[in-house]
């Protein structure tokens, strides 16, 4: 993965394509268009002629100007969770009287006062906080302001998850099972990926009809309140449609979502508005296509492999939870994800209000939760991708490419391609924590672990791109790789031991080779890792390197003192303290791996043994591979002290798998062929093996 000035030109081309589509990129259609453009841009050769860039800039300007001139009328749209009551009932003051009375009556009917949970119960909706504004904050309202939540160009939803309701993941609504009002329910059937989530929070949807929509039609399912003369609202129940008349201009329609899965709405624009919407979409498509054709000299066959990788990854994500592809799923109560997203929304509001101090504080004077970097990433993500998780999705979709680049560094191209495809499509890798679905599902839950591991793998792909003797000592790859390691630690400090070992080894090698620019790049790129300690001192006046929960007994289950106590029990033959039993249990818990099954202990133990062999005695192996193995051993040591939660150790087993695969290719297979030649030949000539090998060879050939 060489870092060259042409990469900067490609990034500039992609930035122009984003400008043509326009911010926020908050739906699957716009995101897919840019994803296709990115594949063609990065798989082709960028044109450096000034004439091509001037022409591309002109195309972008025309497309942007055309979309501005043909912009359809925007619809003011507001939404919020409906929780009445409290000393300052914002809905009683902010909603029309007719609307409030109907919503309150429906709420009391669905959630009778006699059956409500107690304010004193932790996790009850009455004790976690009530709304403080009539309409919820929306990141998309930053670009197109409205006195409601935001303004949109279309309204068509049957599932509120795809309406991207920002209040869903407000951290105030952190309700536990004790609450009579729940956040959501999950349908775990395999084929329900597109409709995995059922929102159970009571809510409402309000739109203000533009004058240009006269002649159109509004259809709905459930109850809607339609504003008439004198700001009086008429109730329309059940399924229905109604034509929009000129007198409806500026009037409001409120959809009632108190009962789960009751509300659906579709606003059909009149023909002139429909034509404007189509023209705007065609201009965006033509503008992006024109940019790619002018910027890039590409062969379509080189884009086949990227399309295969992205397509497979998107399919796996869709099967698990399609809302990650452009919706806004309700994150689970009590989960880290709800905390990070909730804090990110508050940080974004502070940033928009000009409160930079409050933004950088990040919701905590001293970081407690273990992934302080993720909240900043999510806040900035919403600036580009609106009320969606498409920014995190982009990171996850990059993972197969990073893995392929890293594997190509140590293995033949066919092997690297086979392992990457198996990594994406086959869940058997769950035994080693090396299956794509693990990263995708935890990212969709809003956890920091996948982001940390993806940044770490990206750093390896950059830093070990060339064989050690030909590393060249360049500043920029070293700077970028070290910066990626720092970002990985910011996302999840648990990767710090592996980062320290790898970066220390890379630095010593650069010093040995007298590669001053490379050493300077490593040092400067890694410098931002100290920003977490700086934050904790500036805001909390405490000297905490990363986050303060590192020593929490539920996380650090076997501190060094516990091992000392276990040794004392052993030599004194007094086991009443239970420390020896805990120490002995920690080892199988560690070796149970991401599968969290004792049945996988022998397999994982063999992997660790190979890892130790390669690091300690494997002089025939690439020095970079041995350094990666040492980093993996550092992470394995972490598992001896910290809780054996599977997601904490995905990176550990990924790096172990990398070393084991190289060992298997260089030592294991030749030994097997010598020891069992007939069996090896039978396996290699089996029709399934030959078909798989031929398919990989063709894919590798067309994408080379």
- Per-residue pLDDT tens over the stretch 196-219: 899 999 999 999 999 999 999 999
Q: In terms of DSSP bridges, do strands 233-236 and 223-227 run parallel, antiparallel, or are they unpaired? A: antiparallel
Res. 661: pLDDT tops 70: yes
Res. 534: pLDDT tops 70: yes
The CA distance from 499 to 266, in Å, is 51
* The pLDDT of residue 538: 93
Nearest Cα neighbor of 506 from 528, 530, 531, 473 is 473
Beta carbons of 441 and 399 less than 8 angstroms apart: no
- Categorize the per-residue pLDDT at 548 as very low, low, confident or very high, splitting at 50, 70 and 90: confident
Q: How large is the average pLDDT for residues 173-184?
A: 90
The percentage of the chain sitting over the pLDDT mark of 70, rounded to a whole number, equals 96
- Categorize the per-residue pLDDT at 430 as very low, low, confident or very high, splitting at 50, 70 and 90: low
* The pLDDT of residue 581: 85
pLDDT tens digits, 75-93: 999 999 999 887 678 999 9
- Categorize the per-residue pLDDT at 191 as very low, low, confident or very high, splitting at 50, 70 and 90: confident
- Categorize the per-residue pLDDT at 630 as very low, low, confident or very high, splitting at 50, 70 and 90: very high
- Categorize the per-residue pLDDT at 95 as very low, low, confident or very high, splitting at 50, 70 and 90: very high
The H or E element containing residue 374 is helix 372-385
The CA distance from 417 to 697, in Å, is 9
Tokens 């940080």 belong to residue: 347
- Categorize the per-residue pLDDT at 413 as very low, low, confident or very high, splitting at 50, 70 and 90: confident
Res. 472: pLDDT tops 80: no
Provide the 10 A C-beta neighbour count for residue 63: 27
Task: State whether residue 307 is helix, strand or coil.
Answer: helix
Average per-residue pLDDT in the chain?
A: 89
Q: Name the DSSP class of 117.
A: P
The percentage of the chain sitting over the pLDDT mark of 90, rounded to a whole number, equals 59
The CA distance from 79 to 510, in Å, is 56
The CA distance from 659 to 357, in Å, is 44
Res. 187: pLDDT tops 70: yes
Task: State whether residue 253 is helix, strand or coil.
Answer: strand
- Categorize the per-residue pLDDT at 468 as very low, low, confident or very high, splitting at 50, 70 and 90: very low
Q: How large is the average pLDDT for residues 597-604?
A: 86
- Categorize the per-residue pLDDT at 195 as very low, low, confident or very high, splitting at 50, 70 and 90: confident
Q: How large is the average pLDDT for residues 299-315?
A: 90
Res. 2: pLDDT tops 60: no
* The pLDDT of residue 467: 56
Beta carbons of 428 and 435 less than 8 angstroms apart: yes
* CB-facing half-sphere around the CA of 151: CA atoms within 13 A: 15
- Categorize the per-residue pLDDT at 352 as very low, low, confident or very high, splitting at 50, 70 and 90: very high
- Categorize the per-residue pLDDT at 469 as very low, low, confident or very high, splitting at 50, 70 and 90: very low
Secondary structure (H, E, C), 209-229:
CCHHHCCCEEEEECEEEEECH
Q: How large is the average pLDDT for residues 222-234?
A: 92
The CA distance from 61 to 287, in Å, is 9
Q: Token pair of 547, please?
A: 């986050």
Nearest Cα neighbor of 143 from 29, 249, 19, 60 is 19
* The pLDDT of residue 681: 76
| Strands of the sheet with 156-157, listed across from one edge | 156-157, 264-268, 217-221, 240-243
Task: State whether residue 257 is helix, strand or coil.
Answer: strand
Q: Token pair of 69, please?
A: 């001139």
pLDDT tens digits, 664-686: 999 988 888 888 888 777 777 77
- Categorize the per-residue pLDDT at 600 as very low, low, confident or very high, splitting at 50, 70 and 90: confident
The CA distance from 280 to 288, in Å, is 12
Per-residue CA distances from 688 to 209, 299, 694 (Å): 60, 31, 10
The CA distance from 293 to 289, in Å, is 6
The model carries a pTM of: 0.93
* The pLDDT of residue 189: 83
Q: How large is the average pLDDT for residues 466-478?
A: 67
pLDDT tens digits, 278-291: 999 999 999 999 98
pLDDT tens digits, 41-69: 988 888 777 888 888 889 889 999 998 99
Q: How large is the average pLDDT for residues 389-410?
A: 95
* The pLDDT of residue 555: 81
* The pLDDT of residue 505: 94
In sign, the C-alpha dihedral spanning 319, 323, 326, 332 is negative
* The pLDDT of residue 471: 46
Nearest Cα neighbor of 170 from 393, 370, 339, 324 is 339
Q: What is the Rg, in whole angstroms, of the alpha carbon atoms belonging to the chain?
A: 28
Q: How large is the average pLDDT for residues 420-428?
A: 84
* The pLDDT of residue 470: 47
* CB-facing half-sphere around the CA of 18: CA atoms within 13 A: 14
């Amino acid at each position: 993965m060489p870092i060259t000035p042409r990469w900067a030109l490609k990034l500039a081309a992609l930035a122009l394509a984003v400008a043509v589509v326009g911010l926020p990129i908050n739906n699957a259609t716009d995101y897919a268009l840019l994803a296709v453009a990115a594949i063609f841009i990065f798989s082709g050769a960028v044109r450096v002629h000034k004439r091509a860039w001037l022409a591309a800039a002109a195309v972008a300007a025309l497309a942007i100007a055309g979309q501005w001139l043909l912009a359809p009328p925007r619809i003011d749209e507001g939404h919020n969770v409906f929780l009445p009551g409290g000393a300052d009932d914002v809905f009683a003051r902010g909603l029309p009287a007719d609307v409030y009375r109907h919503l309150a009556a429906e709420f009391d009917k669905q959630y009778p006062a006699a059956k409500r949970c107690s304010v004193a119960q932790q996790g009850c909706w009455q004790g976690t906080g009530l709304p403080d504004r009539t309409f919820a904050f929306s990141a998309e309202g930053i670009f197109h302001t409205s006195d409601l939540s935001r303004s949109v160009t279309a309204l068509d939803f049957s599932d509120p998850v795809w309406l991207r309701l920002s209040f869903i993941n407000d951290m105030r609504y952190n309700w536990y099972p004790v609450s009579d009002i729940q956040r959501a329910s999950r349908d775990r059937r395999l084929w329900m990926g597109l409709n995995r989530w059922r929102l159970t929070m009571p809510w409402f949807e309000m739109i203000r009809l533009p004058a240009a929509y006269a002649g159109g039609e509004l259809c709905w399912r459930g109850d809607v309140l339609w504003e008439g003369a004198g700001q009086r609202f008429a109730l329309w129940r059940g399924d229905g449609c109604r034509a929009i008349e000129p007198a409806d201009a500026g009037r409001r329609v409120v959809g009632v979502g108190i009962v789960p899965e009751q509300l659906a709405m579709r606003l059909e624009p009149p023909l002139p508005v429909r034509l404007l919407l189509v023209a705007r979409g065609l201009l965006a498509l033509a503008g992006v296509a024109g940019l790619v054709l002018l910027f890039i000299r590409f062969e379509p066959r080189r884009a086949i492999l990227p399309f295969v990788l992205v397509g497979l990854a998107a399919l796996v994500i869709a099967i698990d939870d399609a809302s990650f592809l452009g919706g806004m799923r309700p994150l689970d109560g009590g989960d880290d994800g709800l905390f990070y997203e909730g804090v990110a929304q508050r940080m974004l509001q502070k940033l928009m209000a000009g409160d930079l101090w409050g933004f950088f504080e990040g919701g905590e004077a001293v970081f407690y939760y273990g992934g302080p970097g993720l909240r900043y990433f999510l806040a900035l993500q919403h600036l580009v991708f609106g009320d969606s998780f498409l920014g995190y999705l982009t990171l996850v979709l990059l993972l197969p490419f990073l893995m392929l680049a890293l594997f190509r560094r140590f293995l033949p191209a066919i092997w690297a391609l086979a392992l990457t495809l198996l990594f994406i499509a086959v869940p058997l890798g769950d035994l080693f924590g090396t299956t794509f679905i693990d990263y995708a599902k935890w990212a969709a839950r809003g956890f920091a672990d996948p982001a940390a591991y993806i940044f770490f793998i990206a750093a390896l792909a950059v830093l070990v791109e060339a064989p050690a003797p030909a590393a060249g000592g360049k500043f920029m790859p070293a700077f970028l790789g070290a910066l990626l390691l720092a970002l990985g630690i910011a996302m999840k400090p648990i990767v710090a031991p592996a980062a320290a070992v790898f970066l220390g080894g890379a630095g010593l090698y650069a010093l040995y080779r007298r590669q001053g620019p490379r050493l300077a790049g490593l040092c400067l790129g890694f410098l931002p890792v100290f920003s977490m300690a700086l934050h904790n001192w500036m805001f909390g006046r405490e000297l905490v390197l990363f986050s303060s929960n590192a020593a929490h007994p539920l996380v650090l289950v076997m501190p060094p003192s516990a091992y000392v106590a276990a040794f004392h029990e052993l030599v004194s033959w007094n086991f009443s303290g239970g420390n020896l039993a805990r120490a002995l249990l920690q080892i199988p818990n560690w070796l149970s791996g991401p599968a969290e099954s004792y049945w996988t202990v022998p397999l994982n133990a063999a992997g660790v043994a190979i890892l130790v062999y390669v690091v300690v005695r494997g002089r025939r192996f690439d020095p970079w591979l041995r350094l990666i193995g040492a980093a993996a051993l550092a992470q394995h040591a972490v598992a001896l002290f910290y809780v054996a939660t599977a997601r904490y150790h995905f990176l550990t087993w990924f790096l172990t798998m990398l070393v084991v695969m190289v060992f298997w290719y260089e030592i294991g297979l030749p030994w097997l062929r010598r020891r069992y030649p007939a069996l090896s030949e039978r396996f290699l000539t089996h029709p399934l093996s030959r078909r798989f090998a031929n398919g990989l060879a063709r894919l590798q050939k067309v994408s080379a």
